[in-house]
Amino acid sequence: MFRYFSLAFKNTLRNRRRSILTISSIAVSLCLLGVLMAMYHALFFKEQTPGQAMRLVTRHRVSLAQSIPVAYEAKIKQVPGVKEVSVWNWFGGSYKDARDSKNFFARLGVEPKQFLTIRTQLEMPEDQRKAFITDKTGAIVSSDLAEKLQLKLGDRITLVGDIYPVNLELKVVGIFTDPDTTDALFFNWEYLRDALPVSRRSYISTVAILANTTTDVPQIAKAVDAMFDNASPPTKTESEAQFALSFVSLLGNIKLFLMAICGAVTFTILLVSGNTMAMSVRERIKEVGVLKTLGFNNDAILGMLIGEAVTISLIGGAIGLLIASVLTVGVGKAAATMLPQLHNLSVTPATALLALFIAGLIGFISSFIPAWNAARTSILDSLRYNG
């Protein structure tokens, strides 16, 4: 097939309108496939950062919506291998106009001193760290959120409660950068606790844990859950990356959803390419007879016809991946608030190679049967063909 690649490539330009339309349809399909594959890789196969590899999260075993006693925090601190723990309590609520998507961001109550120890990759000036620890109404925001909402040091933020029946009046005392955090605000848990009714002060949503080493992480998870196995409520302790996927599971079986769409897109490309190649081969049956008369054997003709289809598919796939590499940037920014794993979403080299392989494979499969039948046609039948 590679011996006659130049001839196969020239044949793709014989019917330019058909080739352009086929390449366009494959490009659009591969663009969608590339974006979905990039999302799948980012959600389920993205490598943990050094900070994430050292952190765990303990929550209610049944659901994130269920609370656990705040007393669990002190018990978890005693587990061998645990370096630090902190309350990590989701507040929810709304900021300004809740209908505006840009006003949706993570809002969590933490214990400032312990939290800053646990977030090993968080960078913030020392004076802002001290202000966060000492000012009970102080809050820190990620740099991307500060830029989006045009927040600066000293600004006041009002969060209107929904899960909790209180409103929080916060002051921005720090702006930080952290590769593991996007669009997030953290405030002092004590400020929220003191504003709550006494009956609700003893419960939190999660406990964040920092391990001494990465090798301690699996042992800590087993030890913590075993400690509360017979307690009410029981717990589930998992890595920070696995915990983040818990939010994804709230949207349904995302893995199955993405795989189903990828399968449907691949099948659609196969139909389009198969129909195009069948039409192209039928129109050139007489040419097959001429080629055989000139001495081309069946294998050479089969290789040229398949090579033409593979070339068209790869061109469409390459164009689609170029478009996908641009789209993933916008998709990642739009989805990062709900799914932080999609922050800095991109088409990785592995994803690009896999998509191109799929494109080439589709070209091969769609063209093999019509090309095989054409190559086996005798010279006499080929020259008499009037289809």
CB 82 within 8 A of CB 212: yes
Measured CA to CA, the distance from residue 89 to residue 114 in angstroms comes to 14
Query: Quick one: pLDDT at residue 16?
Result: 76
Measured CA to CA, the distance from residue 224 to residue 307 in angstroms comes to 59
Query: Quick one: pLDDT at residue 386?
Result: 59
Q: Where are the domains of the chain?
A: 2-47+253-384, 67-232
Whether pTM > 0.75 for this model: the answer is no
Query: Quick one: pLDDT at residue 4?
Result: 58
Query: Quick one: pLDDT at residue 67?
Result: 92
Query: Quick one: pLDDT at residue 168?
Result: 94
State both tokens at 186: 């953290």
Measured CA to CA, the distance from residue 212 to residue 226 in angstroms comes to 20
Query: Quick one: pLDDT at residue 11?
Result: 66
Query: Quick one: pLDDT at residue 253?
Result: 67
CB 38 within 8 A of CB 348: yes
Mean pLDDT by 10 residues, the chain (387 residues): 60 73 86 87 78 92 88 95 94 83 86 95 95 96 92 94 91 93 92 90 94 94 94 91 71 73 82 76 75 80 81 89 89 69 80 90 85 80 67
3-state secondary structure the chain: CHHHHHHHHHHCCCCHHHHHHHHHHHHHHHHHHHHHHHHHHHHHCCCCCCCHHHEEEEEECCCCCCCEECCHHHHHHCCCCEEEEEEEEECCCEECCCCCHHHCCEEEEECHHHHHHHCCCCECCHHHHHHHHHCCCEEEEEHHHHHHHCCCCCCEEEEECCCCCCEEEEEEEEEEECCCCCCEEEEEHHHHHHHCCHHHCCEECEEEEEECCCCHHHHHHHHHHHHCCCCCCCEEEEEHHHHHHHHHHCCCCHHHHHHHHHHHHHHHHHHHHHHHHHHHHHHCHHHHHHHHHCCCCHHHHHHHHHHHHHHHHHHHHHHHHHHHHHHHHHHHHHHCCCCHHHCCCCCCHHHHHHHHHHHHHHHHHHHHHHHHHHHHCCHHHHHHCCC
Query: Quick one: pLDDT at residue 374?
Result: 80
From the CA atom positions of the chain, what is the Rg in Å?
Answer: 29
